């Protein structure tokens, strides 16, 4: 395993499913709380970590939205994003596609401009200092209304050149993709690509809706698609990528034993599965820890590890030329 750990660590990788607010480590949460004079209901970093025990998605989301309350100024969004990129540099991640949740901030009185300025300034520094390329995805909070999503889309239009895609996250059950079909139709007409969380907790029907009604270019999670054989065939044939998040699935109890994690099965079924961290500060690991966890519990080979990494580059929203350059780096590494 030590040999494979080293192999994973040094391998060039892309991350395609990362909520930037979910990369807020307790240490930075405390520092920002102090800087911004925001009260948080924890006395120590250890207390924060102890509170990260979740039995489902909603348990996590309640703490995740509360954690965001320390983010107020442009510099806070910069520090958050740059800390993540520094970590990715250490882990040999060379390309990232990150989500942000504008409504988690605008609903607290922070302007869309503040959020996007801080994040994009860090992304351009990440390119300059670390050579990490990036794309930004704006997610709608699905527990909020269609009207609120339309208003958020309107706010994003002036920043159209900095946002590659729209996404859909937050509480899945009871908030099917169909609720946002018209918003996604408008977003696509405006030139955004589309992704959506589906089949994380929700049934296979939600995955079908994401494909048919939202016309997603990539699926976030998608685990429960495996319950529907026809859907599996469709995903295999179309090669629509799944951004799978192993440690997240474990922490949110979608998967109770890592040895039963479905990612290896997905590969065997011909699905284009990728490895991602989701909310690394909350789920116990970044990219390399996710790769390590599945490698150990599922006895993955170097071949399978390289395949997963290749899928990450192929499923990215980069140009074909950019993808080919990253894949060549990976191939050189594998050889």
Q: Which sequence positions are flagged as catalytic?
A: 200
Residues 64-103 that bind Zn ion (CB under 5 A): none
Beta carbon of residue 25, minimum distance to Zn ion (angstroms, whole number): 17
In degrees and rounded to multiples of 5, residue 247 shows phi and psi of -70, -30
In this complex, which beta carbon is closest to ligand HPA, that of residue 106 or of residue 307? 106
Q: How far apart are CA 267 and CA 65, in angstroms?
A: 33
Helix or strand run (H / E) with residue 17: strand 13-19
What CA–CA distances, in Å, run from 299 to 30, 285, 292, 334? Answer: 38, 19, 10, 18
- Hey, how many other C-beta atoms are within 10 angstroms of the C-beta on 303? 9
In this complex, which beta carbon is closest to ligand HPA, that of residue 148 or of residue 325? 148
Work out the angle at residue 20's Cα, subtended by the Cα atoms of residues 217 and 327, and round it to the nearest 5 degrees: 50
Q: Which does 170 bind (CB under 5 to 8 A by kind): Zn ion, ligand HPA, none?
A: ligand HPA
Beta carbon of residue 21, minimum distance to ligand HPA (angstroms, whole number): 7
Q: Are 224 and 27 in contact (CB under 8 A)?
A: no
In this complex, which beta carbon is closest to Zn ion, that of residue 114 or of residue 223? 223
Beta carbon of residue 33, minimum distance to ligand HPA (angstroms, whole number): 20
Tell me the residue nearest to ligand HPA as measured from the CB: 169
Beta carbon of residue 332, minimum distance to ligand HPA (angstroms, whole number): 33
Q: Maximum distance among all alpha carbons in the chain?
A: 53
Structure-token pair, residue 308: 């997963």
DSSP 250-282: HHTTSSS-GGG-THHHHHHTT--EEE--BSHHH
Structure-token pair, residue 155: 């706010």
- Hey, how many other C-beta atoms are within 10 angstroms of the C-beta on 70? 22
Q: How many chain residues touch Zn ion (CB under 5 A)?
A: 1
Q: Which does 264 bind (CB under 5 to 8 A by kind): ligand HPA, Zn ion, none?
A: none
Structure-token pair, residue 168: 């859909």
Q: Which does 22 bind (CB under 5 to 8 A by kind): ligand HPA, Zn ion, none?
A: ligand HPA
In this complex, which beta carbon is closest to ligand HPA, that of residue 76 or of residue 278? 278
In this complex, which beta carbon is closest to ligand HPA, that of residue 71 or of residue 306? 71
**Of 24, 80, 19, 25, whose CA–CA distance to 221 is shortest?**
19
* Residues binding ligand HPA (CB under 6 A): 19, 22, 57, 64, 169-170, 197, 200, 248, 278-279
In this complex, which beta carbon is closest to ligand HPA, that of residue 248 or of residue 297? 248
Beta carbon of residue 60, minimum distance to Zn ion (angstroms, whole number): 10
Per-residue contact flags (x/-) with Zn ion for residues 272 to 311, judged by CB under 5 A: ------x---------------------------------
**Of 182, 109, 111, 99, whose CA–CA distance to 147 is shortest?**
182
Work out the angle at residue 197's Cα, subtended by the Cα atoms of residues 191 and 200, and round it to the nearest 5 degrees: 165
**Of 249, 279, 245, 278, whose CA–CA distance to 24 is shortest?**
279
Q: How far apart are CA 244 and CA 187, in angstroms?
A: 24
Footprint of Zn ion (CB under 5 A): 278
């Amino acid at each position: 395993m030590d040999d494979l750990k080293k192999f994973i660590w040094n391998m060039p990788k892309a991350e395609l499913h990362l909520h930037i607010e979910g990369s807020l480590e307790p240490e930075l949460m405390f520092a920002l709380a102090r800087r911004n004079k925001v009260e948080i209901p924890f006395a120590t970093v250890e207390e924060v970590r102890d509170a990260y025990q979740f039995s489902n998605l909603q348990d996590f989301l309640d703490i995740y939205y509360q954690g965001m309350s320390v983010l107020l100024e442009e510099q806070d969004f910069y520090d958050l994003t740059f800390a993540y990129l520094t970590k990715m540099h250490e882990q040999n991640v060379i390309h990232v596609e990150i989500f942000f949740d504008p409504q988690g901030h605008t609903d607290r009185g922070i302007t869309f401009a503040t959020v996007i300025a801080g994040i994009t300034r860090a992304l351009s520094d990440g390119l300059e200092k670390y050579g990490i390329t990036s794309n930004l995805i704006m997610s709608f909070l699905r527990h909020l209304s269609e009207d609120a999503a339309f208003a958020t889309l309107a706010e994003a239009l002036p920043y159209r050149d900095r946002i590659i895609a729209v996404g859909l996250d937050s509480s899945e059950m009871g908030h099917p993709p169909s609720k946002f079909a018209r918003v996604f139709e408008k977003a696509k007409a405006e030139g955004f690509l589309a992704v959506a969380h589906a089949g994380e907790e929700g049934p296979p029907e939600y995955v079908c809706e994401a494909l048919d009604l939202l016309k997603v270019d990539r699926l976030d999670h998608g685990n429960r698609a495996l319950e529907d054989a026809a859907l599996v065939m469709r995903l295999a044939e179309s090669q629509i990528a799944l951004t799978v998040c192993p440690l997240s699935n474990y922490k949110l109890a979608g998967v109770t034993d890592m040895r039963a994690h479905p990612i290896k099965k997905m590969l065997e079924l011909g699905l284009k599965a990728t490895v991602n961290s989701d909310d690394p500060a909350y789920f116990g690991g970044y990219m390399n820890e996710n790769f390590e966890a599945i490698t150990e519990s599922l006895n993955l080979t170097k071949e399978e590890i390289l395949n997963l990494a290749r899928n990450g580059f192929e499923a990215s929203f980069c140009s074909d030329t950019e993808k080919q350059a990253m894949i060549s780096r990976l191939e050189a590494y594998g050889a």
